[in-house]
Amino acid sequence: MTPSFLSGLNDEQLEAVTLPQQSALILAGAGSGKTRVLTTRMAWLIQTGQVSPMSLLAVTFTNKAAKEMLTRLSAMLPINTRGMWVGTFHGLCNRMLRAHYREAGLPQLFQILDTQDQLALVKRLMKALHVDEERYPPRQAQWFIAAQKEEGKRADRVEPYDDFSRRMVEFYAEYDRQCQREGVVDFAELLLRSYELLARNEALREHYAGRFHHILVDEFQDTNRLQYRWLQLLAGQHNAIFAVGDDDQSIYGWRGASSANMQDLQRDFRIEKVIKLEQNYRSQGNILDAANALIGHNRRRLGKNLWTAESKGEPLRVFEAVTDFEEAAYVVDEVRSLRASGTPLSDIAVLYRSNAQSRVIEHALFTAGMPYRVYGGLRFFERQEIKHALAYLRLVANQEDDGALLRIINFPTRGIGNRSLEQLQGMAREAGMSLWAAACANTLSGKAASSIAAFVKLIETMRIATAGLPLPEVIEHVIEHSGLKGHYRNEKEGADRIENLDELINAAAVFVDERATRLPAEGAPPEEMDELTAFLAHAALEAGEHQAVAGADALQLMTVHSAKGLEFHAVFITGLEEGLFPHENSMTEADGVEEERRLMYVALTRARRRLYLILAQSRMLHGQTRYNVPSRFFQELPEALLTRVNHVRQAPIHARHPSPAYGARGAARPGAASPSAVPRDFPWRIGQAVTHVKFGAGVIVSAEGGGADARVQVNFRDSGLKWLMLEYAKLIAV
């Protein structure tokens, strides 16, 4: 009997779901139902008795996706999903390390550093080692360490190529030693430590390889090299990897993602056939035709062609504004019209390549009184008051956590200054002990000594008082007795922070309820990981997750990167100009322009019904006026799919911009004519698009002289800025 959950699948989806036990690569186009295929594959394997729920491992890139997968699976089958290994790479590695902390060389209650905690540790260690932070910036050291770990390299395996990298390698080694002393791990360490554990421990590797006969991976194009190698170890010689991904949506190369993993998977796991999911269930035909035409210009791709059973729909609307202010005004007008026709604001998105573009748009929305939300704002667990509360909780849970101690030892203020802290750190280094142990020994004198003693007593009192209490009561007690609430009550805008602290208690209560429905990590009895430690690990892992904001209907503003995985009735793609989208940094990078094209492909395929492509002839960015050439992506879209919704209003050259004597990137040209020096009857205008028989497409960015001496400066797309005498230039207006 055919399971009911297979009904409604198209032929390609059904083929993917019902594959025998073999590794497979599912090339899933945007809106092609990849999540349905993944979860239905899991249900089919369980329903047909090929595996038990505990013999599946599924990897996602967000906790939200993992929860959605389990929810869908529960709706398909009457099974208990507790204890199933479904989660993010970091979450699954955390689970493995908790179960095998001894073999991994970690303390039982190791803590996880989020990116801000890691940066604080880097700064603290640099200060202790007398590292010049101007010459070796802490953030650069943080990025260096993360990059090496994501390549699977410890400090002793990194080959320095100059004095700077040599110092970075030395610091990396010291950083690793400090983390080991404190019993803490950063995000990259979770994966690297887990990989090393499996690589060197054959018995453990065989145990997991014998358990997880089927490994399913979502968003495979976003995996980095270490993640791929981790999957290889888990798969062993006989297990099947079911990878779902889309190389055309590989847009995270800048953070280590490698779409080449898809080709390597085909080779390493002997995959003979790639199943392509090309039927799109999201967008209308014209949108898909445009996306297909655009991405077809990329050379390094596996290749697919999206199609839909729906109608062609509307053509894509192109609006060319004179300035970025006009661009914003147009967006406001169109959004107002869409709203009046019944489209909720929450189903409309304004996308931009760079965060810097949002200021003008936000100002226009604010002026118009239109509610909006910047997607991907400050996360709950990254807010100052929450970080302080978590630091208190971390120290209550683990007194060896130096980073937590340093964050709160003088917050709220206790009269423990930098001088006293330096002395305390010096004592700890000399004695080879933690800061907490040094604070307990406390050989300082005067007010600082008594203040440190009071702090030690406070933490000890809270630790004793909260022993055995339910997690929400532990957090409530710590928030009250730490002095945080009292501190924020005295702040001018402290009410919001106090509400957030109260919400942390609510978050703990929800966590306890959810944890009660899950089994602990394999091999770890319930008592081996207390609720507080588990919650702190949860908070660190959730710090990178977007927290949805409940409230009024609001227009969605976001970068194109943030839009991946989302969909909207109407989408505005703004700033479609050379140097902005595609970004100017991509021009000098290998695969740079192709990744920008993939990013544009992602932007196009977010829209279901209506899509706007907008550019501005000039815009203010970073305090400078830029005169722009239309994005090359316009030339890659079939003209038949576009409709021009405006005729550009060309203002006289002296009235278009306050400073036409500035070049395309805002740099003043010595000797350029002032606006008043340009004749009013000049035949060309600043910002006017032109073509030249030799140099191709460009835009006029400056002009001077008159009569036979008149000349213009043109920013050509392919050859940059050039001054041309009008008498001989033979420019053609576009």
Active-site residue list: 34-35, 218-219, 249, 606
Phi-psi category of residue 388: left, alpha or beta, with phi > 0 → left and psi -120 to 50 → alpha: alpha
Give dist(CA 122, CA 108) in Å, integer.
23
What values do phi and psi take at 400, rounded to 5? -85, 0
**CA triplet 330, 336, 340: central angle to 5 degrees?**
145
Torsion angle of C-alpha atoms 187, 191, 192, 196, degrees rounded to 10: 150
Which tokens go with 18? 């019902």
Cα–Cα distances (Å) from 664 to 176, 190, 328, 660, 717, in that order, read: 46, 46, 21, 10, 11
Give dist(CA 127, CA 125) in Å, integer.
5
Residue at token pair 């007795």: 481
Contacts 24+ apart (CB under 8 A), 505-511: 505/472, 505/475, 505/476, 505/479, 506/472, 507/380, 507/539, 508/471, 508/472, 508/474, 508/475, 508/535, 509/471, 509/472, 511/471, 511/535, 511/538
CB-count burial class (<10 Å; 0-12, 13-18, 19+) for 555: buried
Residue 515 host element (H or E): helix 494-515
3-state secondary structure 433-482: CCHHHHHHHCCCCHHHHHHHHHHHHHHHHHHHHHCCCCHHHHHHHHHHHC
412 cis-preceded (ω within 30 degrees of 0): yes
Identity (one letter) of the amino acid at 388?
Answer: H
Which tokens go with 703? 């002009």
Rounded to the nearest angstrom, the gap between the alpha carbon of residue 637 and the centroid of all alpha carbons in its chain is 28
Which tokens go with 275? 């199943």
582 cis-preceded (ω within 30 degrees of 0): yes
Give dist(CA 689, CA 716) in Å, integer.
10
